[in-house]
A and B are shown apart, each in its own frame.
Chain A
């Protein structure tokens, strides 16, 4: 009898911790599984709720169709039709034949009272617009919120912005010219002076390896980059010492710091406007199907996509981009006629005030 009891007690003692661990894991696993199934159910419900919201948002709304544009909006005094008639040719000229796909991406607007104090239903779908926008502002909204058809993330990452119609094409070109002249990068300067290969490097349309060497070739540029925009970032923690070395013109230290940046965070010497202009040039050269060709193969490199869109080899495309940018040199400062008149007027006014001064009267 006593042996059996001892056996039972010893066995139970040995088994206890293992059992408790197993049961704990099993219990937690069950909890996680039940949470997961609840989440799946909630997800399904959320999908239904979203679709209902979409239906609710578009119910009782007018649908305005101009060309490929579809605008769903509640009845209001917004001049959306006229705005769409203005915007459509610009959008159509950018996306070409792909603009026919735009009905797949309708605008959903909710015209609202511009008085911010008025209580409104929470917005779950679409965009709110104050109903007092004028025709120009409304057309701007359409141009700046149009969804580029089949615009893939790879292209978006490289471009740094969505591809939409340019509001001021001449200004965009002029901005690129200024960048080519002023960007603190030898590679950009070489591009400006006509080195097309360097242009491709700074536009990052080739392979992405050794980007640091291609974008910031000289030690001075790297030091300026590290001590300038990244000065604060590197001044703390383990990089502080290396930063000091970099400040003392140690090239290896500056390079090391820049290499330690997370992938993709190395600043590009040319702003998105430059790449945007390159795409516009390609689309302009490639005709109405250019955009379709541009978005046809998201897996291809940017260079291949651009040259297939433009229907020409990448070198000539980049050369054309450079010529466009150089042709858009900003106008030198000119004095407008009214400014000179204003200057003379003010001079006369203050002169008159001076003559009226009591000090002249005896």
Chain B
């Protein structure tokens, strides 16, 4: 089983190495960029505000990167099987559910690199910066959150991408239908806020996508 996993991991690495390497570099770069200028010792209250503003703005890139990594890795995980109409996968001497888990596991292992890069990058950035008094760094919390976001994005897109083109079409069609309904409702001046409801249910509070939203503050009070 280990050998099988190594084989799947290797093939998946070959398909997605560009994504992994670029994702890792980006994940390493974002914390460094977000703390630019934080090493000045002469920071007053206003500079503190500026620093936190910058950290907050750069923080928007973490969920985007997590989503992009999850999506691309999921697509890469199934692209070859889709191309070969799953014949190779179905001929392997292994239960199919095990095969799916091996594919998923391989993706998770490869995604560990960008997660580690976020942790190392943020730790380096924080260690080399002079933080104004009263502020503290959250490198570990940031890396953990990034890991959660990457895992969730990868799992969801892995499931979508594992399905047939018809499945993907249905999902996209549903999303398009919701958008259409909202647009028509706006035009017809009907008091219907599908987006608002979706935002409340999915993003705010303990929504399933709340792990992506909110403020990704590497530095905060």
Is there any pair of Cβ atoms, one from A and one from B, under 8 angstroms apart in the complex? Answer: no
- Identify the A interface with B (CB < 8 A): none
- Identify the B interface with A (CB < 8 A): none
